[in-house]
Structure 1
């Protein structure tokens, strides 16, 4: 007898593969119908009743929830529209995991740094602006104090486009005319950093990324993944960083500063976990699915029931 799946979830992704297969398997275990949807194929259509929002595979209805696995790059207008679809789902009462506002905060490295600093999460000193003159002064001041800085694209991942300039500021053209500078933290040789995965307010797994291309410790850049102890200090800082950005789940990148104290470099709101899964026994996809269904979707249903006065929930 075929199982009837009453809950339907959209996995928002621009490509299918290992991650989406793991998620779909975890959803099937929970008797949930999960379908991959490319945000580029969605549209706002005010003639599409009753919601004015068309999500392929769901007809004139909407999914019960959505999980964001990937957002393809594109023009400013294309990315704005894709994020707008996620905003629209939230406006229609569909819980989105992570929602558009949280993703916007994590994708923009300057906002990530601002929020980490604002909420007291340890992170290296950071400067972001459009003035080459100010950026040049930062480089000279840091160099005079015997320090280095890292120059990063405002948007980007997997260690792409990172530079360690000297005292002369490189052209801002490759950085879209924005100077994002972060004080360099030397992790020694071979260097390493930590990736901690936080789900539903709890740190669930950690790994070390050792080596890689020069000083960039990314799995995609050749770093070696090793199991790491999830110490109370690592867990606490990673959870606080995730909360500062308002994320349901996140991959938090940390590096040991002087004295070994972890500091947060970046927070990924659309985190991949294939490398981490290779060194941890926990089923990461299952944890993500359980948190979405048992916390996020359950809270949404309870709020809807309270609003409607329905006491059955």
Structure 2
């Protein structure tokens, strides 16, 4: 049984990977670390040698390799479409909100200045849309116009949430298979704790919303209420007792199912008729049926209602919009279409026979 672990550079130690690899090999598996960035990766060769790919790293390169494995039919843990969805906070929080998970008010804008009116309702926390080593600036809380202006230029989309001061340390809940673990984040230490029934229920519902059982969620408790403020596929699992052994056991069991040709994640059980199921079908490379196109249209129209996720329209443009008889998406700074306009354009692009993978968000 061959397992390929998609990892970062060889000098990094992600998720205590060497110990996980040692334990997998001790059980008789051929566990091969694929250090993306060290060398040129022959994706075709990786696909032939792997019964299972484990997406431990979330760089653009790792996601591209995982996408190619997924396209070629190689099982990936967690499944590539789910990992890609969780990497996009806009879509991730939309799925969580649609599933009834308690999340903060969520705003998306093209420029930080558009968030100024929202400060009248209380502080915001501005989060990087996609954190990278090149842009390692973390979340920042802003309370007034001066603090908002001090942020300077932020590459769009600007992602913000209502700030809820936490009561005590932040709580992280990790799921590994059927087990759930709570960790209090008290830097630099992380202390295990037994999650309350409420927190355990929230975490389990998060997993069910995406159809996975290997994930982590950040939960903030503020004024007696719990809010999910982040969710990650294959997080660090820091603070989980005996995490390498638990992860190795789970990966091995999943690889066995993959080798037998069985499904590796319970996603179908939870998402077949859900909103997430529609999104995953939209991410597929298979041609959409007319019925599925109608479902995708309905989902896009539903997003236009009064959800927790709000798309903040940009200020009056400097130049007039194009002639409405000519279907063009207006340009904005950095050459990216405004989200609220892009959504409308995506609905019109679903012509019969169009590929789901071409649906734009």
Q: How high is the TM-score relative to the length of structure 1? A: 0.72
1:245 aligns to 2:201 (yes or no): no
Structure 2 unmatched runs, 5+: 264-361
Partner of 1:184: 163
How far has the Cα of 1:180 moved from its partner?
1.1
Q: 2:199 aligns with which of 234, 248, 271?
A: 234
CA distance in structure 2 between the partners assigned to 1:162 and 1:284 by the alignment: 27
Pairwise CA RMSD of aligned residues? Answer: 2.7
Partner of 1:8: 2
User: Equivalent residue of 1:170, what SS?
Assistant: helix
How far has the Cα of 1:272 moved from its partner?
0.7
C-alpha deviations, 1:173-220, integer Å up to 9, x for none?
Answer: 5531322111111124xx4111111123x342111113xxxxxxxxxx
Count of equivalent residues? 254
Q: 1:262 aligns with which of 226, 229, 249?
A: 226
Structure 1 residues 157 and 269, CA gap change in structure 2 (3 angstroms):
farther
Cα contact 2:51–2:258 (8 A) shared by 1: no
CA distance in structure 2 between the partners assigned to 1:103 and 1:175 by the alignment: 25
Partner of 2:34: 37
Cα contact 1:107–1:156 (8 A) shared by 2: no
Q: 1:161 aligns with which of 124, 138, 143?
A: 138
CA distance in structure 1 between the partners assigned to 2:191 and 2:180 by the alignment: 15
1:129 aligns to 2:109 (yes or no): yes
Cα contact 2:169–2:184 (8 A) shared by 1: yes
Structure 1 residues 240 and 170, CA gap change in structure 2 (3 angstroms):
farther
CA distance in structure 2 between the partners assigned to 1:298 and 1:232 by the alignment: 31
User: Equivalent residue of 2:65, what SS?
Assistant: helix
C-alpha deviations, 1:199-254, integer Å up to 9, x for none?
Answer: 23x342111113xxxxxxxxxxx343122112222222112213323444111111
CA distance in structure 1 between the partners assigned to 2:26 and 2:107 by the alignment: 46
1:62 aligns to 2:49 (yes or no): yes
Cα contact 1:27–1:289 (8 A) shared by 2: yes
CA distance in structure 1 between the partners assigned to 2:96 and 2:132 by the alignment: 18
Structure 1 residues 70 and 111, CA gap change in structure 2 (3 angstroms):
same
User: Equivalent residue of 2:95, what SS?
Assistant: helix
Structure 1 unmatched runs, 5+: 1-6, 45-52, 73-78, 211-221, 305-313
Structure 1 residues 127 and 166, CA gap change in structure 2 (3 angstroms):
same
User: Equivalent residue of 2:58, what SS?
Assistant: coil
Q: How high is the TM-score relative to the length of structure 2? A: 0.63
User: Equivalent residue of 2:140, what SS?
Assistant: coil
